[in-house]
Structure formats: C-alpha cells, structure tokens
Structure 1
Amino acid sequence: MPDADSLARYNAKRDFAKTAEPAGKVAKTGGNRFLVQKHDATRLHWDFRLEVDGVLKSWAVTRGPSLDPDEKRLAVRTEDHPLSYADFEGTIPKGEYGGGTVMLWDTGSWEPVPGKSAKDLEKGHLHFVLHGERMNGEWLLIRLKPRGKEKAENWLLRKINDAYAGATDELVETGLTSVTTGRTMQEIAEGAKPKRVQGRKRPALNRHPREGGDPLANRSAAGAETPPSMDSRLRGNDKGEIGARSRKDSKAPAFQSPQLATLVDTVPTGNQWLHEIKYDGYRALIATGSGGPKIYTRSGLDWTEKFPGIAEAAATLPPGALIDGEIVAMQDGKPDFSTLQEAISAGGEGLLCFAFDLLAETGEDLTALPQIERKERLRALLDGADDRIRFSEHIIGQGEKLFESMCREGFEGVVSKRADVTYRGTRSKAWLKIKCTHRQEFVILGWTASTARGRGFKSLLLGLNGPDGLVYAGKVGTGFNTETLLSMRERLDKLAADKPAAKVPRPEARGAHWVKPELVAEIAFAEFTAEKVVRHASFLGLREDKPADAVVAEEPADLPEATPSTIKISSRDRVIFPESKLTKGDLADYYAAVAPIALPWLAERPISLVRCPQGRAKQCFFQKHDAGSFGEQVHHVDIREKDGSTQPYLYVSDVDGMLACVQMGSIEFHGWGSRVADVEKPDRLVFDLDPDEGLDFEVVKKAAEHLKEQLAEIGLTSWPMLSGGKGVHVVVPLVPQAEWPAAKSFCERFARALAQAEPERFTANLKKANRVGRIFIDYLRNQRGATAVLPYVARARANAPVATPVTWTELRGIDSAHAFTIKDAATLLERAASRALRGWGTADQTLPDL
C-alpha cells in the first residue's frame, strides 16, 4: 500500500465542496497508467502523470510535450494526484486552486526501459516507454539541480530519437481535442456533451494553444466573464448547413495486383526518386469496409485470419481504403523474417504493418495519382491510427546515404520509387529494390539425412524455374533451429516423391530424399557460382505467399536511364526576373527539381496560370481554360459554369505538364480547392491574410496565429504558408465531403466573425478603402471556381520568391513572406523531407457541424 500522506498535499489544496475533482484516496499499487491533462489555469500547461506506487506522480509541462529529441521541455514537479484523477475532465471553479478547464489530452500505459525502474525517480533520472494515443516511444525525465532558494523541483522532459520522434510542436499544435470525449477546450468549458470517439486513436485535429492576451479567448473558469466563443458566433450568424462530420460507409475494395519492384545493383540518383526502407516480411494489401477488413497476400490469398492483430487495427480505419504494405515482426529493433514465421505459427499476434501506398480511399480509386500524392494521402489516413499499422517514411533524393545506413544497421535494403508515377500493378523499373545481401526464394527439391540424432535433416536441395522447367540451384544447411528442423521434416515427409523434379548432379543426389516441388524457401546467400548454384546459403523461412511455379532466378537489371522531360524549353536564356537575372531556363529547372514535393498539391487540380511570356515585368495575364495550345501533357476537365455552359479547365498530372506550362510562359500555378475527380467538394480551405500597405510582417504573423487559435477552438487544424508576396495563407485541409456552398458559408461567417470581434485589426470587406491599417481576411478563395497559389509555386514578383509551407514554430522567426526563392530548390527539398514538415497540410477532418 502507498503512504496515505503522499496525497495530503493534494487534499489540502482543494475544497471538494466546490470543485468536482476527486478527493485524494489511497489506491492499490501495481498499475502502469500514464496520462496527460491539458490545463488552462493561470497559465496554459500540460500536466504529465505517471502511475507509481498507487498515486499519479505529476509534472506541469509549461509548453507541452515535444517530439523533437533536441527540444527539452521544462517540467515542474507538482503534488501527487490520486489514481481517480486519471478520468477527470471538466472545469475547476474560478478562485479555486488550479481554476480553469481540464482536458484529458492523452492516456495509455508506461514502463521503464529494460534494466530501469520507477525507483530511478528518486535518483532524478527516469528512462521510460509510453504507449499512448498521442505520446509513444522512449522518453526521459531528468531532474535539474536547484538554483538558489528555488522551491519548485524542476525537471526536463525529452523525447528519445526513435520511430516516434517528430517536429518540435507537432503534438501541441495538432492535439487539441480530448482523447476520451472528442471535445475542444472551449466545448469542455461550455459543458458541451461528449462527442463519440471511435475505437481508434483519434486523429490529431487541433494545434498550438493561445499565448495570453486574446480578447476572444474563453478563460473557462466557472463564473468568469467569457466573450462568445467562435462556434457560438458562427451559429449566431448562420447562413446554412455546414455538413455532418461522419463519412459515408463504403464496402471493402477488391484485391488488385500489387506493384512489384525490379532488382538493381545501385541506388538511382536524382530528386525524381523517393526512397524507403525495404522491410523483411510479407507483402500485404489491406482492404477496409463495412463487412470488416480483408488482408490479402501478393497473389490475392485471403490471409486475414493469419494476422488477427493487424486486422483488428485495420478495422478502426475508415472504410473503403486499399492499403499496400509489408507485415513484419521485429527482432532487436529490425524486421526479422524468421521471427515473423514463428509469430504466424503462434497465432499472428505482435506484428506490425508498414504501409507505403494507398490504392483507394473511401471507395475512390487513387492508382492514377502520382506516387508522392498517394503517400501523402496515406499519411493523412494513418494520422492517429492504431500503432500496429504505421506509415512508411521516405526521403527524396540522397538514396545512397539511406542505403549505406540500412546496410550498416543490418536491414535488408531500400526500395526506390519514381515520385511521379501511377500505380501499375505489375513489375516495372518505376519501382526498384536494392538489397544489402543476396536473398531470394527457391523451390525445395529434396533433403539429405543428418547423422546427428534428433535432427530432422542435414540440408535442403534447392531449385529455380528456368525456360525449360526446374533446374538445380544448390543446397542450404544452416539457418535452422531444432523446432524448424522437426516441423519442416513433417511437411517434407508428406510431399515425398520417387524422383527429383529437376536434374541434380550425381554427388548431390547421392542419398537424397525427393519431394514434390511445392514448398518455397527464402534463402540468404553470398553469391551464385559460375555453375549457377548458391554459395554460403542460409535458410530464413518458408514463403507461403508465393507459388513454386513463380520462383525464378532474380538477376539484377540495369538502372533505368534517366528519363529527361519530353518538354523542350526554348529561349532558356530569356530573362524572366530582371532584378536577379533569373531566366526561363532557371525557372524550368526549379520546377523540374521541386516536382516531387509540388505535385501532391498541384497535380489533378483545376488550375489557373499566370503567364508572363516576356518576363514578369512585362504584360502578364491569367489563363484557366484550355485553348489547345499547351500540348498533350496539359489536360483539361469539363466544368459546368453558372450560365449552364461547359468550359475546359486546365490541369496537369506530372512534371511534363508543369514544364509544358513554363514553356508557354507560365510562372505561377493557382489551384482550385478541389480535385478534378470531384470538383464540387473541396479538400482544403485557404484564408489569405492580405495586409494593408505599410503593415509590418510581424503583424501578419500574429494575425495568422490568431486565426490558427480560432480555428482550433472549433476543432480544425491548420498550417501556415508564406505566400511569396506580402502575406500568409492559413491552410485548412479537409476530407472532401462538404460541397462548395457549405464551405463558402463557413469561411464567410468565420471571417466576418473575426472582423466583427476586432474591427481595428481585421476586415472581411473586399474594398480597398476598408483595409486602411488592417488585414483583409480573404475568404473568397473558398468558393467554386476561385483559386489560390499552390505550395512551392514561384511568384511573378521581384527575385522569384516561392510560396513556401512552414510550421507555426518556424513562422515566428521568419522576417518576410518571400523568404525563399527559386534559387533555394535544394533547401526546399531538404526541408520537405525533414521531421519538422512531416504531415504538413494533411489532416483527417471535416467542417464542424455548426
């Protein structure tokens, strides 16, 4: 039993006749719960709590937990709390200790890393692992030495660099809803009813907290004067239905043949390639639907029952998805095929699936989209998902470094994929695999007996399919344990045959026992000899997802030749940006370089072009319709106009389309907020903050932060983008569900509510006369047919600035909206692959039902 006095301080600070907090009572020991409560008291903070000895050891983390291993967050030790506090969410009355709103922000379990224990807290150093809805992986708590007469016990909370590491403020900027009730802080303060939270990790829909002085902020303590919340102001100015937050149900998509990679010897170079870890496991396609998930092998076998844990995790994902990935078992921090075999034999629990492609979403076929865009949509789908299905991260360019690192750390190798290709469902050189060691499948032809007692066999005889049937390919006698030898022998005996299925050299055939060629083994080996037999072979496991007649020698192919664009850029030396002497060729080279990171936002979206054939300082004009002059690389989609006519709107699908527009004098690409697949349903909103002449950029940044906070109040996460001009765009991604009238109504009411609350700061009026000294919140971007500049697009302005995605943390330190130019292509590519921008502009969210 814990010491009852450990809760004396907790009880002494509270009047339980006034607060709904639970009284401090001693509980039984032995649990390992952890939780985090977001607490809007005198100062907003996050209360981090670990169950130890029957109480909750507690720290107040002033800026919230950070996923960045280089970021150390101050954690002030507070009084122990009772275990019953782990379920508390609500308001503490004004004037009481800790008065304010409390949200249950995260919950789960914890344990010390091996060799450590909770007693290490007494030493001032705890290394532990969290399994939460938001916080996961390894963390450290370190006690600081006291300074002077400090009464508070100060600690540091830090993330260890592992698979769960991320951006500095990723958690606090995207996690503003309760993991148990789905409510925002504002809704908790107002006593709103809990929302239904699905049986999956709730997507992180909100973000960074306000930082004081906000006239619209609800201080949330009972009895305090609270200005009307954003959602109440929107309701009070209602102009129509916003749309439900639930999605349409979808049946599970049918199996599709998976895309296969071609074996090569070296990693391809160039920014058109993205590179992933090659996982050592079973390829699987996961289909989700109302009838429950299905897990298919690469050949289409239904293996759902073999992977119950993965199926359970997939059941929490939205229906209508078809996910491509690799199911693995981890051993010593790496995927291990032998461990996978053992896990499947033991019931299929404890496995992970690394998902690397998305073929369908809510029933929509995505195979025609570029590879990089499919991955970004997959990332959004898996945001907050059950941890047994994980997003497979990638890098763009620098594949050689990844390959060297993977080989050094004992991984199988890497897979390299063209960033702009569609999903073809066959083997091609658009997907390449580069292995650290030789390994492939072989057909088992027979076995030789062992002289050792109790050993099932000495070695296996191997074969491969050739043009004229099976041919002998060597033998393997290592890599087996006793259990494998015995279980394999049972299977071999059931397949006994009178003669070999292939011609085997006489010395090898002497004393051999033959089997029907039905079993397939995965073998690692040093090389093939001149006689085409393996040397130094080691058995890894049986492959039951591949038929024996499909097993052939896997010879490395030549790397595909670099595929230069079919678009020839004429007049490359024509100066387009006279201030910096940048040319049409420079602009084309920029777009070719950044295509992998620009296409997820630009491809398959109706666009308007800013064309400046003689340069940005000469006559420029918008073009949105296809006049047939761009060539076959630039497509069109027929869209109905208000007058009932149909017009061909431009769109592109790949880098050739982008460059064809540049060849025709285009500098800027502005996109609709919807895709050509369904132009009536936006997948993002954009609030363009356009400052009056003379307003400092610092004013714009603070305004953007304010919009972010108000959007968070109603449950919407957002990201900032430097416009490349004067202002900042606040981007709100959406699941394409609500139609344009609802989106426009929401955005207009939101902008007008802000302008009404702070008329000296904002205006929602388009007239220039109304902007004097103020910032125009341009909500008109969010209506059918309107466009906004797209990420990574160059602007027709002095020195060729670029519209650039940034994080909220970064924005605070940036001096202008045109901080990056087309000269910074390499920097932009590096930034896009960084931890800080992971998941920028993606979220599984819909318009709030207001």
Structure 2
Amino acid sequence: MAAKKRQDAKRGGDRLAEYRGKRDRGRTPEPVPDGKALPHGDDDTFVVQEHHATSLHWDLRLERDGVLVSWAVPKGLPWSPETNHLAVHTEDHPLEYAAFEGEIPRGEYGAGKMTIWDRGTYETEKWSEREVKIVIHGSRVSGRYVLFQTRGKNWMIHRMDPPADPEAEPLPDALRPMRPVKKARLPRDQEAWGFEFAWGGRRLLAYVEGGRTRFTDGRGRPVDGPGGLGSRLGGALGSRPAVLDGELAVLENRETYMIFDVAHLDGRPLLDVPYRERRERLDGLELSGPRWQTAPWYPGAGDAVREAAAEQGLPGVVAKRLDSPYEPGGSSDAWRLIPS
C-alpha cells in the first residue's frame, strides 16, 4: 500500500486528492493545500492528535514522502507489549497537519475538537505495504512500535519495548464499593472528617480507559450505564485510565452521575491513599459535564452540610475520615451515613 502510493507520487499522482475531496476549505480550519504533496522533510516527524469526534480516538501520523501517513487508533498507543490496539488506516494528510489544533465544524468530515497529544521525531526500521516498524521519540510516548495490516484498512499497533511505565497496573476487572455504616449523630471531632451529601441514587463504579467506559454496580457486577454517559465521560478523561466511584442520582429531574471518589488513576491503585488526597486528585480531574459532576465535599463542616441536606430534601450526609483508605467490598466505621 505505502509502496504503491510512493510509486504513484513518482508518476505524478496526487496523494492528497482523497484528503481534499473530503474537506471544504471554506468551512474547515484544517490546512487544505492546493498543490500535490512534494517531499521536503526528512521523513522523521510524528504527531499523535487527540480527536474528539463522534467517537474519541487518537490519530497517529508519520511523515513519509511529503505527506503524513495516518492511522486512527481508537484506544491510543498501547503502553505495554501485552496488548495490541486496533489502528485504522486513513487518508494521507498534508505535512502542515502536524501543527493543527482546532474545532472541525459540525457537518464536516471528522467534526469535533482536535488537539496535539504528543509530537516529536521517529526512525524507520521497516516500511512495507503491510508492516511499518518505527522508533518514536516523544514527550509522552517513546519506544519501538510495529504497525501491521490485518484486513483492508484495519491494522494493529504493537509495542515492541517493555512497558513504558513498568510500575503501572491495569485497571481491575471489578471492585465492590466501600460502604458507610449508619449512625445517628455526626462525629464529635469534625475537623478530622470530610462531609458529602448522600444523594440517594444508584451506586455505580466507572472504569474509564482509552476513552471508553464500563460500569459495575454496588455488588461489583457488570451493568449497562445510562445512554450516552460512558462515551462522553470517557472523552472527558481522554487517555487517563481511572476507576471512579459515584451515584447515579436524579437532580433537577435529570439523571446525573455524582462522582465522589477515585480508586485507580494513571496506572496507580489509590486504595491505600488517604481520602483527603484521593478527593484532591479527583478534584484535579475537573470532571463536570451534562450527565456527570464531581460531588462537592466539605472538610470539617458537618453541621452545615447536614443542615443543607435537610433543606434540599436529601437523605443525609456521609462523613468520611480524612485519613481513611478505600476499603472495597465492606462497610467501615471510617465512612458514616447520618440522616438529615
């Protein structure tokens, strides 16, 4: 495939004809050059762009003979050799696309937000119609990769080096959520506790990876998430893998996933991390969308939170010790449910 395109280019073929044919330069901010692609680089530039289109994916582009040879990678580049990821071969892009970031308008091909996730240089070890071996040197991803064709436009991408982060751990298959014990009164030493609203919703854990989301219920069983929540929440986290804990509650007549904990983030289990630090990491993710919100928490303010819960008709308050770990599968006195 790649060899044939290079031969076509040498015979005067236009390698960017398909690219131009899919775009209206009067509507899209993408670069749409007039002329044919002409080699004017060193065949060593790569870029990975995060593309929030109909389905979030990452576009890997490699400079080759005057164009960017491109693959759409739905789950991003694999960080470990244990997993291969699908890579769908797409049309060649102009070299100028390596610097492109912007919003492709609705109704246009590839509509959605495009940002540069990583870029740098690469070396070619092999380039044939069915197999491409490269060594990537970027700021977020580096190492030896091979792309190999499986059928038609479908390829796979495999990391040939050891894991980029040897200490990273995959997401667990399932966790049973930590539960509070019921108490009649607020803790006396409120300064040692954080306080959240009890939302009265359905407990859901969200496992987000590669822009996709799966859910388990309060007993750790796989369940379907609300329509549209999984893909949008996955898009909000992008390439950051995480296990989120929350409740699907009805707020203002609309189901909203209220997220109040994070049990795993960026390849690191957080079960032994104190509640205060987990909440700070969760807040740092800035998860706020049309169907999900980061639930508020209030260190040391139990009386005020309980009063506000009663005014809003919420079931109560959940008090959580600031130094408490996350204990999956059981009830712990470090978390307490106090009625409003």
Aligned-partner Cα distance in 1 for 2:170–2:51: 17
Partner residue in 1 for 2:20? 11
**325, 334, 337: which one aligns with 1:790:** 325
Aligned-partner Cα distance in 2 for 1:84–1:777: 54
Q: Give the C-alpha shift of residue 730 in structure 1.
A: 2.8
**23, 33, 36: which one aligns with 2:45:** 33
1:445-473: per-residue Cα shift (whole Å, max 9, x none)? xxxxxxxxxxxxxxxxxxxxxxxxxxxxx
2:118 aligned with 1:109: no
**309, 317, 324: which one aligns with 1:766:** 309
Change (3 A) 1:672 1:793: farther
1:223-281: per-residue Cα shift (whole Å, max 9, x none)? xxxxxxxxxxxxxxxxxxxxxxxxxxxxxxxxxxxxxxxxxxxxxxxxxxxxxxxxxxx
**254, 262, 269: which one aligns with 1:730:** 262
* 20-29 or 87-96, which deviates more: 20-29
Aligned-partner Cα distance in 2 for 1:768–1:699: 29
Change (3 A) 1:8 1:688: farther
The 5 A counterparts of 1:319-338 are none
Maintained 8 Å contact 1:718/1:731: no
Maintained 8 Å contact 1:32/1:51: yes
**144, 147, 153: which one aligns with 1:141:** 147
**125, 134, 137: which one aligns with 1:131:** 137
Aligned-partner Cα distance in 2 for 1:793–1:32: 47
Change (3 A) 1:164 1:97: same
Aligned-partner Cα distance in 2 for 1:708–1:690: 26
Partner residue in 2 for 1:23? 32
**52, 67, 75: which one aligns with 2:64:** 52
Q: Give the C-alpha shift of residue 64 in structure 1.
A: 1.9
Identity %: 29
* TM-score scaled by length of structure 2: 0.57
Partner residue in 2 for 1:77? 89
Partner residue in 2 for 1:692? 200
Maintained 8 Å contact 1:77/1:154: yes
**85, 94, 102: which one aligns with 2:106:** 94
Aligned-partner Cα distance in 1 for 2:309–2:56: 36
Q: Give the C-alpha shift of residue 766 in structure 1.
A: 3.0
Partner residue in 1 for 2:300? none
Change (3 A) 1:29 1:132: same
Partner residue in 2 for 1:64? 76
Change (3 A) 1:713 1:41: closer
Q: Which amino acid aligns with 1:692?
A: G
Change (3 A) 1:62 1:720: closer
Q: Give the C-alpha shift of residue 49 in structure 1.
A: 0.6
The aligned length equals: 258
Q: Give the C-alpha shift of residue 8 in structure 1.
A: 1.4
Q: Which amino acid aligns with 1:21?
A: E
The 5 A counterparts of 1:61-460 are 61-112=73-124, 116-117=125-126, 119-120=127-128, 122=129, 124-144=130-150, 146=151, 152-162=152-162, 164-165=164-165
Change (3 A) 1:689 1:29: farther
Change (3 A) 1:696 1:131: closer
The 5 A counterparts of 1:490-509 are none
In structure 1, stretches of 5+ residues that fail to align are: 147-151, 171-609, 611-615, 626-640, 642-670, 674-686, 734-739, 804-850
Aligned-partner Cα distance in 2 for 1:791–1:15: 52
Aligned-partner Cα distance in 1 for 2:164–2:21: 39
Maintained 8 Å contact 2:263/2:326: no
Q: Which amino acid aligns with 1:160?
A: M
Q: Which amino acid aligns with 2:29?
A: A
Q: Which amino acid aligns with 2:309?
A: L
Q: Which amino acid aligns with 1:11?
A: R
Change (3 A) 1:691 1:707: farther
Change (3 A) 1:163 1:690: same
Change (3 A) 1:84 1:721: closer
Q: Which amino acid aligns with 1:93?
A: P
Partner residue in 1 for 2:208? none
Q: Which amino acid aligns with 1:128?
A: I
Aligned-partner Cα distance in 2 for 1:20–1:35: 18
Change (3 A) 1:722 1:18: closer
The alignment partner of 1:59 has SS state of: strand
Q: Give the C-alpha shift of residue 767 in structure 1.
A: 4.0
Maintained 8 Å contact 2:81/2:163: no
The alignment partner of 1:6 has SS state of: coil
1:334-379: per-residue Cα shift (whole Å, max 9, x none)? xxxxxxxxxxxxxxxxxxxxxxxxxxxxxxxxxxxxxxxxxxxxxx
Maintained 8 Å contact 1:159/1:165: no
Who wins on radius of gyration, i.e. which is larger? 1
Q: Give the C-alpha shift of residue 141 in structure 1.
A: 0.6
* TM-score scaled by length of structure 1: 0.25
Maintained 8 Å contact 1:66/1:169: no
Q: Which amino acid aligns with 2:51?
A: H
The alignment partner of 1:766 has SS state of: helix
Q: Give the C-alpha shift of residue 787 in structure 1.
A: 2.5
The 5 A counterparts of 1:737-776 are 766-767=309-310, 770-771=313-314
Aligned-partner Cα distance in 2 for 1:163–1:63: 16
Change (3 A) 1:689 1:55: farther
1:692-742: per-residue Cα shift (whole Å, max 9, x none)? 377676467959x96997798599x7954679xxx9623799xxxxxx9xx
Q: Which amino acid aligns with 1:787?
A: L
Q: Which amino acid aligns with 2:325?
A: L
Aligned-partner Cα distance in 1 for 2:76–2:328: 34
The 5 A counterparts of 1:816-827 are none
Aligned-partner Cα distance in 2 for 1:708–1:731: 20
Aligned-partner Cα distance in 1 for 2:133–2:188: 59
Aligned-partner Cα distance in 1 for 2:86–2:22: 23
Q: Which amino acid aligns with 1:729?
A: D
The alignment partner of 2:91 has SS state of: strand
In structure 2, stretches of 5+ residues that fail to align are: 1-5, 172-179, 206-215, 247-258, 266-275, 298-307, 336-340
Change (3 A) 1:706 1:777: farther
